[in-house]
């Protein structure tokens, strides 16, 4: 926006909205159209006079035609342009032409026709499209011309000099009044337009921010009217409702699976108050999804408009996972503190039992001392697991990972485990001929594999080949997964309740287990970018297909650098 439109407003916000607001363009074109129309009317009027009274001459008609041509040219070819502080080219082509044309007509007609009311048009135009200084200068120029015309009439033998000067004074006063009032109104209009455009710009930016925030929310957000039509939604809500982006307009009343959701929305509109409830979204061919939904009414802005209902939805699985995570964090801190307190007396018990065993000769007492040693070692293992779990949670991603020869490490760990448990006939190891490289820590891999083998040995049938360890080679290309380690046993199928909490800490189907083994395995895998999972699968066993439990670890591909064993 330029000098005047409005002159008192700062220029920086105006620059954001363009040099010529829409209202300024509309006013400019309106004035140019008025000039061209006035020129046409004057031409027709003077043409009629010339046709009726040819003796008056054609000069007024020619002046009107020239004015009409000039005004029409500016209207058709000109661009909206702010009138500056001085009498520059835009002023001369518009206001200057008007003042000159009307003054010439006033002189040529010799007082027969009074053209002074026409001076209001250029004064009003410059007041609206230019600065107040330029408007006052234009009014002053019109006044001077009127006084000059009155003075010129003194040289004529006829005419009332006093009346002419009074007419000039009144015309000048009117021009000054028009310029002042119109300038004030134009400034106010421009100020209001700029404020409206600023508000519109701020509202647009705020809407974009709100849309970005809503899209990034993990909770589903729906805006629904009273008829059940969804006005707005975010991607999370479409996922919860099984409605992809290209599904078109959503109508909850036409979706049988959203019956409980629609009932909650109807209850909100009926009571005109927020509602909250656990709802179920039925999905054909799949299990129902349980959600926690709460509503908030926007309220009708006018009596002839309907209010909207905003629905916030959360997947109950995520809520339960968050609660479980918070509980586990508290349990972990408490367990770590207890483990530290247990470790010192446990070490004293272990040392005292070892010294006592050296002096025992009675076999019964030796068995009791051996039982004490075994249980003390078990407690030591539990304490170590708890402390390792705490440290792993605090450290985050493990920095000890390096390229590891997966086949060599797996073969060595299986051999050590077999020697320790004497289960050589039960364990079958199948490794690929090519070297498989994983980004992992060797000691952590050993710990994971021993834990999986211990679990398999605990539930397997102990037949030859009842425990099988295999490695699947990595896929081709960097987009393919890394090598996969599989530990399979022919144990009985897991109860669904056990399978659901398989990798949770302090959960075990046996009373003598700490319930930390598989959870630590998962933490170690995730710290190295690997994925551990459980599935029920089939393998060849004793010449026939047997079902069993399989734990699968998908490793992260190692970069192409030196490989360690």
Q: Please, is 439 exposed, middle or buried when counting C-beta atoms within 10 Å of its C-beta (0-12, 13-18, 19+)?
A: middle
User: Please, what's the b/e burial string for 352-373 (b: 16 or more CB within 10 A of its CB; e: otherwise)?
Assistant: ebeeeeeeeeeeeeeeebeebb
pLDDT by residue (tens digit) across 257-306? 888 999 999 999 988 889 999 888 887 767 788 888 999 998 654 555 56
Residue 276 pairs in a beta bridge with 294
Helices (H), 290-362: 316-358
**According to the model, what pLDDT value does residue 409 have?**
92
- Nearest in space to 413 (alpha carbons), one of 445, 440, 435: 445
DSSP string, 463-480: STTSEEEEEEPPPSSTTS
Pairing of strands 484-489, 467-472: antiparallel
**According to the model, what pLDDT value does residue 360 have?**
83
Q: How many CB atoms lie within 10 A of CB 57?
A: 11
Q: Vertex 105, ends 101 and 111: CA angle to 5°?
A: 150
**According to the model, what pLDDT value does residue 304 have?**
53
State the DSSP code for 95.
I
What SS3 string covers 36-94? HHHHHHHHHHHHHHHHHCHHHCCHHHHHHHHHHHHHHHHHHHCCCCCCCCCCCHHHHHH
**According to the model, what pLDDT value does residue 311 have?**
92
Range list for CATH 3.30.450.20 in the chain: 218-319
Range list for CATH 3.30.565.10 in the chain: 402-554
d(CA 367, CA 377): 15
d(CA 219, CA 82): 52
What are phi and psi for residue 111, nearest 5 degrees? 90, -5
d(CA 79, CA 94): 12
d(CA 294, CA 14): 43
**According to the model, what pLDDT value does residue 519 have?**
82
The CATH number of 218-319 is: 3.30.450.20
**According to the model, what pLDDT value does residue 369 have?**
86
- Nearest in space to 7 (alpha carbons), one of 147, 144, 191, 180: 191
Range list for CATH 1.10.287 in the chain: 322-395
Decide yes or no: CATH 3.50.50.60 for domain 402-554. Answer: no
- pLDDT averages per 10-residue partition of the chain, 565 residues: 41 40 76 87 86 80 88 84 66 80 79 77 81 79 79 68 76 82 80 84 87 82 89 86 75 86 90 90 78 84 68 84 73 74 85 86 86 82 70 54 88 90 82 87 88 89 89 66 89 79 68 69 85 89 87 80 47
- Nearest in space to 82 (alpha carbons), one of 137, 138, 3: 3
The CATH number of 322-395 is: 1.10.287
**According to the model, what pLDDT value does residue 412 have?**
92
d(CA 523, CA 531): 10
**According to the model, what pLDDT value does residue 8 have?**
38
* Angle separating helix axes 132-154 and 120-129, nearest 10 degrees: 160
Q: Vertex 115, ends 110 and 118: CA angle to 5°?
A: 160
Q: Vertex 105, ends 32 and 166: CA angle to 5°?
A: 105
Q: Please, is 63 exposed, middle or buried when counting C-beta atoms within 10 Å of its C-beta (0-12, 13-18, 19+)?
A: buried
Tokens coding 335: 């367990």
What SS3 string covers 491-525? CCCCCHHHHHCCCCCCCCCCCCCCCCHHHHHHHHH
Q: With beta carbons less than 8 A apart as the criterion, state whether 429 and 409 touch.
A: no
pLDDT by residue (tens digit) across 458-505? 888 888 889 999 998 876 544 457 899 999 999 888 877 777 778 877
**Residues in Cβ contact with 57 at an 8 Å cutoff, skipping those fewer than 6 apart:** 50
**Residues in Cβ contact with 528 at an 8 Å cutoff, skipping those fewer than 6 apart:** 397, 398, 401, 439, 440, 441, 444, 555, 556
Q: Vertex 33, ends 31 and 34: CA angle to 5°?
A: 65
d(CA 306, CA 160): 72
**According to the model, what pLDDT value does residue 560 have?**
56
**According to the model, what pLDDT value does residue 57 have?**
77
**According to the model, what pLDDT value does residue 477 have?**
46
What SS3 string covers 380-410? HHHHHHHHHHHHHHHHCCCCCCEEEEHHHHH
Backbone Cα Rg of the chain: 46
- Nearest in space to 182 (alpha carbons), one of 4, 32, 371: 4
């Amino acid at each position: 926006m330029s000098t005047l439109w409005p002159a008192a407003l700062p220029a920086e916000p105006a620059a954001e909205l363009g040099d010529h607001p829409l209202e300024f363009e509309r006013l400019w074109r309106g004035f140019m159209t008025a000039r061209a129309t006035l020129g046409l009317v004057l031409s027709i009027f003077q043409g009629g006079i010339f046709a009726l009274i040819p003796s008056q001459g054609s000069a007024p008609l020619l002046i009107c035609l020239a004015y009409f041509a000039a005004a029409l040219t500016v209207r058709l070819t000109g661009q909206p342009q702010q009138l500056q502080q001085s009498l520059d080219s835009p002023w001369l082509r518009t206001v200057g032409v008007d003042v000159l044309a009307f003054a010439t007509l006033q002189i040529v007609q010799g007082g027969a026709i009074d053209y002074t009311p026409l001076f209001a048009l250029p004064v009003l135009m410059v007041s609206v499209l230019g600065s107040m200084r330029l408007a006052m200068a234009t009014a002053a120029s019109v006044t001077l011309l009127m006084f000059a015309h009155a003075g010129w009439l003194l040289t004529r033998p006829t005419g009332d000099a006093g009346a002419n000067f009074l007419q000039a004074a009144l015309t000048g006063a009117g021009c000054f009044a028009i310029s002042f009032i119109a300038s004030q109104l134009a400034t106010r209009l421009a100020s209001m337009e700029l404020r409206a455009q600023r508000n519109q710009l701020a509202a647009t930016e705020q809407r974009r921010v709100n849309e970005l925030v809503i899209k990034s929310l993990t909770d589903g957000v729906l805006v629904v009217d009273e008829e059940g039509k969804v006005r707005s939604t975010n991607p999370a809500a479409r996922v919860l409702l099984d409605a992809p982006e290209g599904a078109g307009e959503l109508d909850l009343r036409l979706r049988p699976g959203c019956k409980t959701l629609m009932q909650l929305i109807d209850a909100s509109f009926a009571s005109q108050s927020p509602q909250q409830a656990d709802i179920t979204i039925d999905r054909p061919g799949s299990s129902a999804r349980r959600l926690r939904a709460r509503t908030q009414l926007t309220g009708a802005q006018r009596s002839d408009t309907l209010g909207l209902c905003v629905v916030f939805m959360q997947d109950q699985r995520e809520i339960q996972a968050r609660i479980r995570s918070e509980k586990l964090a508290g349990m972990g801190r408490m367990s770590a503190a207890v483990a530290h307190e247990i470790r010192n007396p446990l070490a004293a018990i272990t040392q005292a039992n070892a010294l006592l065993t050296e002096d025992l000769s009675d076999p019964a007492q030796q068995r009791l001392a051996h039982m004490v040693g075994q249980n003390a070692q078990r407690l030591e293992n539990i304490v170590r697991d708890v402390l390792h779990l705490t440290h792993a949670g605090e450290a985050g991603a493990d920095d000890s990972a390096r390229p590891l020869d997966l086949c060599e490490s797996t073969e060595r760990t299986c051999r050590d485990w077999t020697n320790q448990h004497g289960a050589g006939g039960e364990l079958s190891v199948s490794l690929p001929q090519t070297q498989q490289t994983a980004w992992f820590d060797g000691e952590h891999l050993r710990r994971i594999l021993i834990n999986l083998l211990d679990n398999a040995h605990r539930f397997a049938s102990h037949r030859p080949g009842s425990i099988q360890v295999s490695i699947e080679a990595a896929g081709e290309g960097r987009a393919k997964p890394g090598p996969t380690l599989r530990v399979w046993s022919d144990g009985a199928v897991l109860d669904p309740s056990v399978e659901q909490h398989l990798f949770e800490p302090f959960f075990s189907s046996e009373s003598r287990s700490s319930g930390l083994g598989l959870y630590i395995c998962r933490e170690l895998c995730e710290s190295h970018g690997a994925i551990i999972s459980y599935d029920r699968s089939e393998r060849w066993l004793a010449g026939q297909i047997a079902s069993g439990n399989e734990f699968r670890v998908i490793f992260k591909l190692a970069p192409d650098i030196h490989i360690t064993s």
